[in-house]
């Protein structure tokens, strides 16, 4: 497996990856709570690619272009200022993982673990001291993934999700 930055000419392919993941996972017990064209939005995908923050795991497959995709940047989904993080870091010393997704046929094959390991390397290369993220409390596979990868639970927040409904999120961090 390899990971690389998505190219600007891949915006539609990346969007299609996320849309297909949303569709393919709709009947699964654990599914992303993402909504097509809302989260991720075309603007988020385009800006993340343009800024070199969107990463893909390509696959040589007739049906799929990518096994997985994710965004790594310094932006929080919510106001984390009141959170008692264990690692003290300025905004330029933080990496945040967003939209880590694996295409349904490749789930359970170590792709997500590979992506988290690569996120650690990428964050270090960009000078981060810590990786932080939030996960919906109902996303058990994501909690297990991050805990197995050494992320520590820090706190929880009740915030509006993309659909405006209040949701519970668990916050994790990984010291680099």
Query: Which domains does the chain possess?
Result: 4-175 (3.40.630.30)
Q: Which residues have CB under 8 Å from 72's CB, separation 6+?
A: 53, 55, 95, 96, 97, 98, 119, 122, 123, 126
Summarised one tens digit per residue, pLDDT across range 48-78 is 999 999 999 999 888 899 999 999 999 987 7
Q: How far apart are CA 148 and CA 64, in angstroms?
A: 27
Summarised one tens digit per residue, pLDDT across range 118-149 is 999 999 999 999 999 999 898 999 999 999 99
Q: How far apart are CA 45 and CA 60, in angstroms?
A: 22
Whether 81 contacts 132, CB under 8 Å:
no
Q: How far apart are CA 29 and CA 10, in angstroms?
A: 30
Instruction: Report pLDDT for 166.
Output: 73
């Amino acid at each position: 497996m390899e990971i690389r930055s998505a190219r600007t000419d891949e915006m539609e392919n990346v969007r299609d990856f996320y849309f297909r993941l949303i569709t393919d996972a709709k009947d699964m017990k654990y599914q992303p709570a993402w909504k097509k064209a809302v989260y991720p939005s075309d603007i988020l995908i385009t800006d993340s690619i343009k800024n070199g923050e969107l990463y893909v795991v390509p696959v040589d497959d007739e049906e799929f272009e990518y096994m997985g995709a994710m965004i790594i940047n310094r932006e929080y989904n919510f106001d984390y200022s009141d959170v008692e993080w264990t690692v003290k870091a300025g905004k330029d010393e933080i990496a945040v993982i967003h939209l880590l997704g694996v295409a349904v046929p490749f789930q359970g094959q170590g792709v997500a673990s590979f992506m988290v390991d690569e996120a650690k390397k990428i964050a270090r290369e960009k000078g981060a001291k810590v990786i932080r993220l939030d996960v919906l409390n109902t996303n058990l596979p994501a909690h297990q993934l991050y805990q197995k990868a050494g992320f520590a639970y820090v706190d929880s927040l009740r915030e509006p999700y993309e659909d405006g409904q209040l949701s519970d999120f668990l916050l994790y961090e990984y010291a680099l």
